[in-house]
Amino acid sequence: MADWVNVAPYGDFPPGSVRSVEVDGAQVAVFNLDGTCYAIEDTCPHDGGVLTGGAVEGDVVVCPRHGARFCIKTGKVLAPPAYEDVATFAVRVEAGVVQVRDSRWDEGAF
C-alpha cells in the first residue's frame, strides 16, 4: 500500500494556493480550494506540460500551454485540446500537515 507523503504544513498552504510535489514518482498538483485540499496529476494529457502555473477558476485549472480545462475536484477534462482525464489522489490533513497518497497501484485498486 502506498504511503502518505507530506506536502506542507496546512498553515503554510492558504486557500487559493497550489504546489507541485512528487508522490511515488508522479508529479502531483495540490490545490487548496476554500480550505479543502485536492490533488491531481500535474501533467496535461494533451502534451505532457505541467498544470501548475495555469489559471484557477473556481474548481477548474486551465492548462497554461494550450488551454485545456480540468476539474480540480474530480480530474475530469472539461475542454479540449485534452480529451483524457487526469488522475486524482487522496489528500488529508494529519497533525496539521497536508499529505497526499498515490493509491493507483495498491492491490485491489483496479
Q: Name the residue among 46, 32, 27 with its Cα closest to residue 102.
A: 27
- What is the full per-residue pLDDT of the chain (110 aa) written as tens digits? 579 999 999 999 899 999 999 988 889 999 999 999 999 999 999 999 999 999 999 999 999 999 999 999 999 999 999 999 999 999 999 999 999 998 876 655 54
Q: Provide Rg for the chain, Cα atoms.
A: 13
Annotate 63-98 with DSSP letters as a single string.
-TTT--EEETTT--EEETT--SPPPEEEEEEETTEE
Give CATH for domain 5-101: 2.102.10.10
Record the cell numbers describing residue 26, joined without a space: 508522479
What are the extents of the domains in the chain?
5-101
- Among 110, 98, 109, CA closest to 4: 98
